[in-house]
Structure 1
Amino acid sequence: MIKIKKGVLLCLLMFTSFLNAQFIVTGKVTDTTNEPIEFVNVVFLNIENNEIIKGTITDEKGNFTIKSDRKGEFNLQISFVGFENYIKSINSSINLENIILNSINELDEVVIAARKKIIEKKEDKIIFNVQNTTLNNGNDGIEVLKNAPIIWVNNANQVLIRQEPATVLVNGRKINLTGTDLSNYIKNIDSENIQTIEIQTNTSANIDGNVTGGIVNIILKKKPLGLNANVKSYYTLYNKELFDLYNGASLNYGSEKWNAYLLYNFTKNKGNGNFNSEFIIKENLQSQLTEGYFNNQKDNHNYRLGFVSELSKNQEFGLEFYGTNSNNTFNSNNNIIIKENDPIAKGDNSLKEFSKKYIYNTILNYNYKIDTLNGNIKIIVDYLRHNFNNIADNNSVYEFGNFIDNTEKNTTNSKTDIYSIQADLFKQFFKKFKTDVGTKYITTKRYNGLLSETLTNNTYISNDRTSEFDYKENILAGYISVGYNLDEKNYFKIGLRIENTDFTSLDKINGDRNTHNYNSWFPSLYYSRELSNKNSISFSYSRRLRRPSFNTLNNRVNKINDFRFDIGNPNLNPEFINKYEISLNKKNNFFSIYLNNITDAINGVWRIENDIAIHQNLNYGTNKQYGFEYSLKSNLTKWWEVTGIGELFHKNFKNFNFNLNKTTTFFNLQNSIKINKNTSLTISGNYMSPFLSANYINAENYTANLTLKKSFLNNKLNVRFYYDDIFNSQRDRNNAEFTDSNFSFFQKRNTRSFTIWLQYSFITKNKSRNSRNNSNNDTKGRL
């Protein structure tokens, strides 16, 4: 019996000794985009001779567990082809949590791309992995976005999500340009430099409250050293006299610790169109018909100069200057016919305008990585100056009727200064919590001046429409956003943004002053659950506001002709938007049901005063839109890829006079056909049935386009031929009912065109780093 007890005691001592000797190391391996890496080698190495003692590999989620039954100290080595090795000394059990492997060179990014699906869902973002598609060479940023899911890029190169302009970011920082300036910027991003496109239909707390649409974030590749340059040119022909011309060049050079870049382009546009519009005054059934044509010419210069430097391993500093100058000439001639039962007046009106605009923008970025807190601090300082000057000569001559011929000159000047500073802190706690906190301050100063003069006895004399107006606005914002992985399948994110807005407006002619201060709360909520086969379902909610543009926040009165005027409104309030969405993501298919509810909606309203039509922006009711959206991106064959959006939505506009409803269908389809290794053909088109915009009912619209692409010299030279709006079908047509009138409008611009496009790239053996400065000054969009 004693021997048995001794044997049991000896076994217990040996087992205890074994437990004391064994230790376990766990962790998760990801790349710099936080993407899990599968099949990574994880080994224990003998410190003295690097002999492998024990080894394992990571699973599909990047997780690993490795055990040792030996005492002592070992080197833990984590390695994967194309990445820098991770080595850490280990002598006891430890959970290393998230281990990030850095890529070695550009080849590594190809390795990463090869492991990723083309489209993935990650937290509240849809990830489009560009480098894993045929778009990864010889395309520009606009072409990439045209092929991305959910996004619609129309023929004017506007980036839209659910018919609303999207906010575009590069590497997480907002590009504060609009219209052709924004499209030109995106066109100058080569697809070779784009790693992924992140798409959000919901809006997070870290985004300005004034951002109401979806978000498109272009993530650039991290490149090694060297020189990268390209020149680009295209010519678009509408007819013998109408064209668009673009010439541009960019240069990017990076060394071990710094990166410099330069971009310049010049555009010249000549266009024309015809139009007609009519008011029917309800009281006397008087018709006011205006019909005519217009032509315009615009010259535009854009330039950007930037510098980014790594001050230390954890610090980066950047400075950028951006500028644009443009001259625009606009001429219009139209007939004016006033009739009740019979014509009572007929005249000719001519308008000649010349405008000059310039924007200067300076951006300073500072980033600091806090290793001890597993976090990052970002500071952005931004200054923008915007000047606009316009001279308009307006002349009216009447064939008959009780109206007096007249000539006017209207000189408009606006000056805007916007200053902003922003600080953000990102921190990750353990593996489950991600926290974003930040603050932002924006101050805007705006001057609007109008000198209106009437020609009297060969002398221009100022009339009563002359005005001067000052506007100052201060916005102080703070936010917090927390994301939490409940478990491997459930993700939850909640955020709150608070903005205080204080503004003062001053009429410098009569001395009227208006001040206002208000607080706005913007909660946001997102929840997603992963289903089987990597499918997922999600719900989101956010509250947003849309502030009126600075162009309307004044008291100016602009003359269109003797019977139509457009006036400002310094008393406009912002409109508020509540957005709800339920989405199902199934492989490369996306299904969404959504509701957008807008209160105090800002709309352009016409009213009649003494038989004169006056247009003014007002807070004019509520808009509701709910709908179903389906988006897909699929390779039907090895040579045929389809990208499409289909949408069925219903809009309701309601105020004290009207309750209007309209159901609309929309689809956009793009077929990319690969003819051979260097040649492809794209056939695209879109259609929208009649739709409601406030109390305007817009006619259906459709278009079809063809693009042929060919590359030469190992993809250094790329050539394209575009045939846009094949059926010449693009036009604007709408009608609306107002309290005292009915209004109809038609306009046709030159839209059918043929374009030849050329780009040549100069690349050294080691490509440039492609770091960039960008701004988060969302106020610019209101210019």
Structure 2
Amino acid sequence: MKVKLWIIILLLFLSCIVKSQEISQEKVTDSIQQKDSVATISEVIIQSSRRDVKLNQGNIVMNISGNKDFKTSTNILEVLRKTPGVTVDSEDGIFIGGRISPAIFINGKPVVMSAQELQIYLRSLSPDMVESLEVNTNPSSKYDAEFKGIIDIKLKKNTNLGWIGNYIGNTSINKFNYKENSLNLSYNAQKISYNVQLGYNNGISIYRYRALQRLANTNVMRTETYQKDDAEIYTAQMGIDYKLNDKNRFGVNVRANFRESERIRLGSLYTVNKDETQLIFNTESKNPINYIQDNYGITADYSFQYKNFKLIFLGNYLSVKNKQEDDFLNNDKPTSELLSYWKSDLLNKIDIYAGQVDVSQKIGDATFDAGLKLSDTKTNNMIRYDTLSVNQQFVFDPTRSNQFSYKEKIFAGYLTYSQKFNKLQINAGLRFENTQSISNAVTVDSVVSRNYLKWLPSFSASYAFNKSSELSFSYSRKLTRPVFSQLNPFRFYYSPLNYWIGNPYLQPSFTNQIKATYRYKNRVTAFTIGKETDVMTRYPIYNPETNVLEFLGTNLPYRNFASLEISFPIKITKWWNINTQIAGYYNHEFRPYLDEVFALKIYNYEMRLNQVFSLSKGYTINLFSNYESKTGNSLYIIKPRYTIDISIQKAWLDNKLNTKISFNNVFDSYDQRLEFRHKQIMDTQFTHWWDTQKLILSLSYNFGKSKYQTKNIQKTEEENRAR
């Protein structure tokens, strides 16, 4: 009933907007009769006022700055939520093609951070700072094999001399507040430019988890977890870009990111008999966590260009240090008796060195590119558990403590060829990657050593019929190595009876993919089909005697997948535009599990409507709605969900000051509900909830005497796996 009431209010609100705008634009006089007081739309014209969408070798390229669809977006992360083919989940994770986590590029160079650091960086970029976004769901052999998808963010450029400053501040209001602050300063001289970026974020975020499980002994157990995360984050970045002459350019950038989080996780396990008439046990847990992460990075790049020849060198160093201290206290709730108490102390260190050289030579209408890359990664992880004994002393627990080290070297190279024949563009490439790795679980004396060489081809062709119509086709083969957290055989607890463990024996997966894309004006249709082998995934193991639920890592034999994505604009009037996105997905995974094999075919779809109302006096209102149908995999059903966001934007002081107000997830409807398919194995259903319903106040201010855009950090794909 409450949802229906909200919908009625929302429709009345939009009707008022329609009515007000029609009166303003048509200059209706006082002679309007009463019967004309209801706003009507005489016709719907499907057209595009300007070309905000184009294709680049089959990849969607969206204009951002000046695009009405993104005018009310507070930052680029919100822009990505509205970009065709891109999904941003409740935890601000970015995906393309349904489930691919893409690499983020800035001006054609990889920008790779931990997930949290990347989100902060994307929030520091306003739409006005970005010229375009390119979504590449099928990268060629020129790119690292790890990149199954790329989002390339091209910043606006200006070579005006002088300095420029930009401040962006966001405040998210829910039960608690979260504040984000970013200051960008840059100075551009004749041959040298300097840039500084400073950031400070602080506030509280909330997460809740609920589960209902019918145990093997017929008891019914309800699990509830409430997590409150109070975080404080400092970021700093400084860079110099020096143009030696018309042929040579050199740049260096240093950055640091410091995060400290005080997290409290409260949980309960409430268990009754089958008919829920008798209490079996009622326990509560308290898990305070202190988490610290320190990141340091240095990037140096050099480029040389003479006539049709170009050489680029890029070098990177990254240092990551994670520290986490946990306390786990479990009590019997009715009597307050302490049932168990243990502590954990985690230290994780990662060092990455990477260097690559790329050369390009144009010969006639053909272009040849080649490159070499070497990366060296070292990670060391130590976790210690201490358990409170019967004599009230903490005793070292060797069964859960562990030390794990991982070393990896990758030597890679590629050769690509491209040529344009009138309206036809052809691209072909071949890449090799040699991987040498050693993982050592010191405590259990388990060493896994690997050395393998893989060849990865790619091909694409695109044909432009005219300025309004083009068709492209592409093929690629990709390799995905397990990230360090997937290999780490530590026990990470969600609750006293629920944890996951990494698997150092995981194999890399391989993906063969074909994609076809057609564009007519601003309407784009893309079809993708492919197969992935040795799919890396997690699976649950339930112990009916202890009621412990473990999540372990494994490789599945294969999965087949396909997707069809359609996006098109509809112009209702001069002041009302709708951008529509429809995507359908197919997934068929072959999953051995326990003593059975499950191979279900899963179909699902997603629909988005992004409505933009350009009102008088410079106001812009945006109504964004997203619906995801029922989906899942061979083990789980994921229930449907939807979200609706409303935002309003207004510029002041000759566009120097920009203010925005947003109300995201209006109906608090974007939680994730899952259910285990096979009741004979495990009868459980659970819900993840994040505090995405929030009011966001955003302010950005531009100052200075130039519009010169800062040069941003460049990092490598190995850094992305350091999470």
Name whichever of 141-150 and 444-453 sits farther off: 141-150
Per-residue CA distance 1:223-263 (angstroms, 9 max, x = gap)? 22111101221211102xx1111122110111000111001
Structure 2 residue aligned with 1:249, among 165, 168, 183?
A: 183
SS of the residue aligned with 2:121?
Answer: helix
Per-residue CA distance 1:31-62 (angstroms, 9 max, x = gap)? xxxxxxxxxxxxxxxxxxxxxxxxxxxxxxxx
CA distance in 1, matches of 2:132, 2:339: 61
Aligned to 2:484: 550
Aligned to 1:169: 105
Aligned to 2:368: 435
Go from structure 1 to structure 2 and tell me whether the alpha carbon gap of 1:698 and 1:179 turns closer, same or farther (over 3 Å shift). Answer: same
SS of the residue aligned with 2:486?
Answer: coil
Which amino acid in structure 2 is aligned with residue 197 of structure 1? L
Structure 1 residue aligned with 2:300, among 356, 364, 371?
A: 364
CA distance in 2, matches of 1:232, 1:769: 15
Note if contact 1:243-1:270 (Cα within 8 Å) is conserved in structure 2: yes
Aligned to 1:329: 262
Which amino acid in structure 1 is aligned with residue 179 of structure 2? L
Aligned to 1:212: 148
Aligned to 2:123: 187
Name whichever of 133-142 and 158-167 sits farther off: 133-142
CA distance in 2, matches of 1:143, 1:751: 13
Go from structure 1 to structure 2 and tell me whether the alpha carbon gap of 1:626 and 1:459 turns closer, same or farther (over 3 Å shift). Answer: same
CA distance in 1, matches of 2:541, 2:302: 51
Name whichever of 377-386 and 632-641 sits farther off: 632-641
Per-residue CA distance 1:3-56 (angstroms, 9 max, x = gap)? xxxxxxxxxxxxxxxxxxxxxxxxxxxxxxxxxxxxxxxxxxxxxxxxxxxxxx
Per-residue CA distance 1:653-708 (angstroms, 9 max, x = gap)? 22232112221110122112211353211110101011124532211111000110
Note if contact 2:90-2:670 (Cα within 8 Å) is conserved in structure 1: no
Q: How many residues align?
A: 660
Name whichever of 564-573 and 532-541 sits farther off: 532-541
CA distance in 2, matches of 1:536, 1:310: 38
Aligned to 2:660: 720
Aligned to 1:313: 246
Q: Give 5+ residue unaligned stretches, structure 2.
A: 1-48
Structure 1 residue aligned with 2:550, among 614, 632, 636?
A: 614
Go from structure 1 to structure 2 and tell me whether the alpha carbon gap of 1:308 and 1:267 turns closer, same or farther (over 3 Å shift). Answer: same
Shift of 1:333: 2.0
Go from structure 1 to structure 2 and tell me whether the alpha carbon gap of 1:427 and 1:579 turns closer, same or farther (over 3 Å shift). Answer: same
Per-residue CA distance 1:178-209 (angstroms, 9 max, x = gap)? 43422332333344443333332221112111
CA distance in 2, matches of 1:355, 1:148: 34
Aligned to 1:687: 627
Aligned to 1:697: 637
Alignment of 1:645 with 2:581, yes or no, is yes
Shift of 1:155: 6.0
Note if contact 1:136-1:194 (Cα within 8 Å) is conserved in structure 2: no
Shift of 1:595: 1.3
SS of the residue aligned with 2:186?
Answer: strand
Note if contact 1:149-1:643 (Cα within 8 Å) is conserved in structure 2: no
Aligned to 1:671: 611
Which amino acid in structure 1 is aligned with residue 243 of structure 2? E
Q: Answer 1 or 2: higher relative contact order, Cα 8 Å, separation at least 6.
A: 2
Per-residue CA distance 1:283-328 (angstroms, 9 max, x = gap)? x555554224222211111111111101121111111112111111
Note if contact 1:171-1:220 (Cα within 8 Å) is conserved in structure 2: no
Alignment of 1:706 with 2:646, yes or no, is yes
Q: Give 5+ residue unaligned stretches, structure 1.
A: 1-114
Alignment of 1:237 with 2:173, yes or no, is yes
Aligned to 2:508: 574
Residues 490-509 of structure 1 mapped to structure 2, 5 A cutoff: 490-509=424-443
Aligned to 1:745: 686
Shift of 1:136: 9.6
Residues 379-418 of structure 1 mapped to structure 2, 5 A cutoff: 379-398=313-332, 405-418=339-352
Note if contact 2:114-2:722 (Cα within 8 Å) is conserved in structure 1: no
Which amino acid in structure 1 is aligned with residue 487 of structure 2? L
Structure 1 residue aligned with 2:229, among 296, 299, 303?
A: 296
Which amino acid in structure 2 is aligned with residue 713 of structure 1? L
Residues 402-551 of structure 1 mapped to structure 2, 5 A cutoff: 405-431=339-365, 433-456=366-389, 457-464=391-398, 465-485=400-420, 487-532=421-466, 534-551=468-485
Aligned to 1:125: 59
CA distance in 2, matches of 1:710, 1:385: 41
Aligned to 2:720: 780
Residues 104-119 of structure 1 mapped to structure 2, 5 A cutoff: 117-119=51-53
Note if contact 1:194-1:221 (Cα within 8 Å) is conserved in structure 2: no
SS of the residue aligned with 2:122?
Answer: helix
User: Identity percentage over the alignment?
Assistant: 21
Which amino acid in structure 1 is aligned with residue 710 of structure 2? N
Aligned to 1:761: 702
Note if contact 2:59-2:136 (Cα within 8 Å) is conserved in structure 1: yes
Note if contact 1:260-1:308 (Cα within 8 Å) is conserved in structure 2: yes
Note if contact 1:588-1:634 (Cα within 8 Å) is conserved in structure 2: no
Note if contact 1:423-1:439 (Cα within 8 Å) is conserved in structure 2: yes
SS of the residue aligned with 1:165?
Answer: coil
Go from structure 1 to structure 2 and tell me whether the alpha carbon gap of 1:153 and 1:637 turns closer, same or farther (over 3 Å shift). Answer: farther
Aligned to 1:84: none
CA distance in 2, matches of 1:362, 1:322: 7
Aligned to 1:729: 669
CA distance in 2, matches of 1:418, 1:289: 44
Shift of 1:418: 0.8
Residues 14-53 of structure 1 mapped to structure 2, 5 A cutoff: none
Residues 613-632 of structure 1 mapped to structure 2, 5 A cutoff: 613-632=549-568
Shift of 1:714: 0.1
SS of the residue aligned with 1:312?
Answer: coil
Aligned to 1:563: 497
Shift of 1:172: 0.5
Shift of 1:711: 0.7
CA distance in 2, matches of 1:274, 1:117: 43
> Cα RMSD over matched residues?
2.6
CA distance in 2, matches of 1:510, 1:152: 40
Note if contact 1:435-1:481 (Cα within 8 Å) is conserved in structure 2: yes
CA distance in 2, matches of 1:313, 1:358: 38
Which amino acid in structure 2 is aligned with residue 317 of structure 1? F
CA distance in 2, matches of 1:237, 1:285: 43
Note if contact 1:497-1:521 (Cα within 8 Å) is conserved in structure 2: yes
Note if contact 1:661-1:692 (Cα within 8 Å) is conserved in structure 2: no
Instruction: Answer with 1 or 2: which has the greater Rg.
Output: 1
Which amino acid in structure 1 is aligned with residue 559 of structure 2? N
Note if contact 1:198-1:219 (Cα within 8 Å) is conserved in structure 2: no
Name whichever of 355-364 and 659-668 sits farther off: 659-668
Note if contact 2:221-2:272 (Cα within 8 Å) is conserved in structure 1: yes
CA distance in 2, matches of 1:274, 1:132: 38
CA distance in 1, matches of 2:487, 2:50: 48
Note if contact 1:259-1:769 (Cα within 8 Å) is conserved in structure 2: no
CA distance in 2, matches of 1:318, 1:597: 41
When normalised by structure 2's length, the TM-score is 0.86
Go from structure 1 to structure 2 and tell me whether the alpha carbon gap of 1:713 and 1:354 turns closer, same or farther (over 3 Å shift). Answer: same
Note if contact 1:314-1:368 (Cα within 8 Å) is conserved in structure 2: yes
SS of the residue aligned with 2:578?
Answer: strand
When normalised by structure 1's length, the TM-score is 0.79
Which amino acid in structure 1 is aligned with residue 642 of structure 2? Y
